[in-house]
Chain A
């Protein structure tokens, strides 16, 4: 009856996303990432917290990976091949296809850095064999009780938010997502779901971004100016994601401006990655999908493979080189050659980790970079920083939380102070209980549970008919009263009491049953006993009217005038209820009032008898449901004159 969330990574930080959630006896690991900032044991989540004995197969029902970024998948080969997890692993088709490229690229880089190898190429291949690919919105029955489903998340190709349901409890883990479409991907999309828990990323917990159009134009202008002046443009990127997005942008611009300057991809993974992108076109944005038959957007016309001999070739060009952030490898090699010329341009797309050359270039104007003791690079080239990110901003996070309206929310994958701000906003603006746990902490929240009962046909049928009650309640909310700011907010409220006509009957040894109240008495074999209230009292008459002294002989026409006059008074004074004028009778919900002409009306209390010449008797009756309303009307009637 509770959901336990053990945060193994990305708690109050960005990196090594890993969350283990236990719902109704099932245990799911969402993401299995590594931390790029560490080289020791802190780079992996602390798997020993899942199972002391290392028996992960029994400790976990399944592993779900949201997308192919290393901080979400980097620890997976280690977990399956070294730690020995053999259970099912789920990810989307593109993630399964592209993850090995990312892992392999990382592994190679790691070799170069001379660190001890944590997993091998074979490990990656073996690990990927265990992965079960899923399509978007495909409802996967992991076992008898656990159901999972992927929803489009934008961010990178194949990124997904995952919905998991066990019994009556349900939750969503978003992974990274983007609520606005970019050049090649659509915006995140999800159904309105009944959720107990939402676990969302919060990278940009407090940032609100403007449109990306302006920033794209800025980028294209910078590139164009550089190549027009005969310069070379270096764009250091990682193989997947950003490279394709920028390439579509450039390709499109090249076509429009009829530019002939070559665009090169360094002989890394990018050309190979384009092959995958072409087959996975269904996972991109609508615009790109529509044109696949005539022209596949990832069939780049102006893009060529880069040969090392071209580094010092004359003439302008644009080069995408791996790895990003200029951490080393080929992009560094090219940078060393091109940086000394002021004609050239280096464009840094996205975030650069502290300590990399990319980070140094971003942090300010500098003319020299010391690579190591012996090498120094003169930096005279222009530096352009791209600021579009595939993460949602604060507004997007709030929109998603509001749209899903979960009972509880957990923030991960963000910076601690910003997360605290967002948490406050979610709690105060949306009234949703929110948590941002640190690594290795566990959050426990209650989960929904249902009891089952059989419902009778009469009850179901009566529930099919709407039974709306409209009332304008001049709000005397307690909160206002407390703060002594008794605002009279008049708003229309709609209530529908269909369900309250049902009665739940539990008998020993039998299944609980819901029946309609009309059936209930029949079941008991009893007769209904109706309790009503009645009151017959005089109301003051204005003297202006020349009414005959024999008021008890009022003709029906006069009764109607009196009733309609009363109706006018009530509609002025009464803020709620629906007043029905039925000729000789007035009806407000169950409250009925009519002119009483009988002197010995049983509903008259003798003491209230007054001089009858200036007043007329009204007989009222009502049932208990409208008690408050009835007394309100009576007091209005007593205090006014007809």
Chain B
């Protein structure tokens, strides 16, 4: 088995990407897009002068500016390209056998792969992740088209900004995003796929339900288990004939909307690939390097827990989800304060579950007050997405499922849309929006690094209004993302949401899962020390790890009804038998079942003999059968000890038996006699 981490990703919107080789099959885990790098591009310019920023005279102006702080004119003013996982291009897509997608965001880069020639991999995605991912891609494509209309059809020449001259004039900050530290990431940029590519990609996807067994090639049994991060996100188990693997992506134990992290489903696997990098991003909680190992010592408390139920109970304590709900409540009160002061609120957040919960809480809050503030959702796919979230009770958390059983809608937005408290529009320029528009208001729209779609127009509109509020998910790139809208009078609320397993819970989780072998990110090593696994291998980006197989031989299941028909033979120490029936490979198991042939048609006969026959014994055996013969000659008795000779048979028919060291030839014209002689030889020889 081989494992290569292609990318450790960057937070919720850019999940990690790995390549795995099991039982001779190559498996790609996730295929994301680095959307944050979209921020180096300028959004649609408002005035014409901005369009000329890449003219040669402006280049000189730019060069002088390098040392200054970044401003909006530094951004690349061109049709955006998209950054994929850079190391993925070093692999031949046609050699990938299986692709496992753990989340909707892990699907965004897939059309780049599926449109390559000779692509033939089987893609497994959970039903819900596939649908949400598809809608996200459709939105991305249509928002990109909107931007493209501004730039016009692409000229065939190589992109200006990607040329050396173009890169040279980029400020170092942007250059690093564009080309990496050593220019090695330049190849990762791709022009966006088309709507046809997306459709084509989705056609190649095989959707799964949670815990549905998918059997690839009869060898690998692949199952998805809920990870709790978002609706439809999952962790994987891959069971092959020689190894059982569990892949843990970013997971949340108790979710406010999605089905909880089903860690019990991952039990019984000897290898765990831990790929939750979410704690890497939450460094602000522990600034000081020296305290990094603290959580480990504090986790000693959990050492007292020995049985599984206790560990499970401690993992499922919903303190985290309580904290999340409090965060949401805080966001709602901030938004409420803002609209009360007459300012509008813009919420460009791309986490479906968070948006759905915010919608519920915010409308509750607004309803309880006398304020008549409308909530708008502006996105080309919002209508479909909202409708979809209400027909998937099987993918939601327990509380939401209870709503199904009591006959209520799963999410409140269905009712709110009907009551016209929430309005859904496909775009900012749609007629219904213009006629309904009313301020102050609360607007939800997709994020797309604040470069594409309705968010750009709304930010431009509100950025100078000190009463308005922007609610953003925090990240390192927020500063760059907001650059085109500076100076901003608008208030900005940055919030971070839980997006993975917290450090304190890693240790008890591994204790519950008991892996023999653990693959753990090197980057997290200093944050936590793990004592649970028998062996820990640390991995880092672009380093291939080889793991010897744990089992030497393959196990084979033999049906007992077949085994009872075997003809056993006892040798010195062992009993042996020749196999029969047909060998099947199914669900990663070798099975020997009785074939369809009738048993009587096949007479049992040894096919393989060894040793050398004793000629005297052979003569006696023959005479027992009524066959008489004489030992004609010993071929040079000195050379051959006892085994060589010719037996001449005259009764009942003429026949010769030519016995040599390595073989015997029976020469006769009579079929019956031949088989009798064979039987006699079979008696004096060992055979099977």
A residues apposed to B, CB below 8 Å:
1, 93, 96-97, 100, 128, 133, 135-141, 149, 168, 194, 272, 275-276, 278-282, 292-293, 296, 448-457, 460, 463, 478, 495-496, 498-508, 513-514, 517, 520-521, 524, 526-537, 602-608, 621, 624-625, 627, 631
Contact = CB atoms under 8 A, between A and B. Distances in A.
Interface residues of B, number: 83
B665 A528 contact: no
A460 B410 CA distance: 51
B376 interface: no
B557 A279 contact: no
Given A451-B560, A453-B556, A520-B688, A506 B576 contact: yes
A506 B573 CA distance: 9
B556 A452 contact: yes
A529 B609 contact: yes
A278 B552 CA distance: 53
Contacts of A495: 597
Contact of B665 (A100, A138, A532): A532
B553 interface: yes
16 contacts: A93-B393, A133-B401, A138-B212, A141-B265, A168-B557, A450-B558, A451-B557, A454-B556, A457-B553, A503-B576, A508-B573, A529-B685, A531-B609, A534-B667, A608-B669, A627-B671
Nearest to B664: A531
B547 interface: no
Contacts of A506: 574-576
B554 to A, nearest CB: 5
Q: Chain A interface mostly helix, strand, loop or mixed?
A: mixed
Chain B CB within 10 Å — which of A139, A140, A278, A537 has the most?
A: A139
Ranked nearest first, the 10 interchain pairs of A and B with the lowest CB-CB distance are A450-B557, A530-B663, A526-B610, A502-B579, A137-B212, A293-B384, A454-B553, A455-B556, A507-B574, A631-B671
Nearest to A632: B671
A603 B609 contact: no
B179 interface: no
Interface in B569-606: 571, 573-583, 586, 590-592, 595, 597, 600, 605
Interface of B: 208-213, 223, 265, 383-384, 387-388, 390-394, 401, 404-405, 407, 409-410, 552-561, 563, 566, 571, 573-583, 586, 590-592, 595, 597, 600, 605, 607-613, 654-656, 658, 662-669, 671, 674-675, 678, 681-682, 685-686, 688
Nearest to B392: A282
Contacts of B674: 533, 627, 631
B556 A605 contact: no
A526 to B, nearest CB: 4
B610 A528 contact: yes
B391 A278 contact: yes
B560 A533 contact: no
Nearest to A537: B669
A292 B611 CA distance: 76
Contact of B612 (A529, A605, A606): A529
Nearest to A504: B577
Contacts of A625: 605, 607
B669 A605 contact: yes
A514 B556 CA distance: 8
B576 A280 contact: no
A139 to B, nearest CB: 5
A561 B195 CA distance: 67
A454 B580 CA distance: 16
Nearest to A507: B574
B688 A139 contact: no
Contacts of B686: 526
A459 to B, nearest CB: 8
Contact of B209 (A133, A138, A532): A138
A104 to B, nearest CB: 12
Given A451-B558, A505-B574, A532 B404 contact: no
A450 B664 contact: no
A448 B667 contact: no
Contact of B578 (A141, A455, A503, A528): A503
B663 A535 contact: no
Contacts of B582: 496, 498-499
A504 B669 CA distance: 36
Contacts of A532: 663-666
Contacts of B586: 194
Given A453-B555, A535-B669, A503 B391 contact: no
Contacts of B595: 499
A463 B387 CA distance: 51
Contacts of A605: 654-656, 667-669
B209 A136 contact: yes
B675 A627 contact: yes
Contact of B613 (A97, A457, A529, A627): A529
A590 to B, nearest CB: 11
Given A504-B566, A521-B610, A532-B663, A279 B393 contact: yes
Contact of A128 (B209, B405, B681, B682): B405
A272 B85 CA distance: 49
A554 B426 CA distance: 92
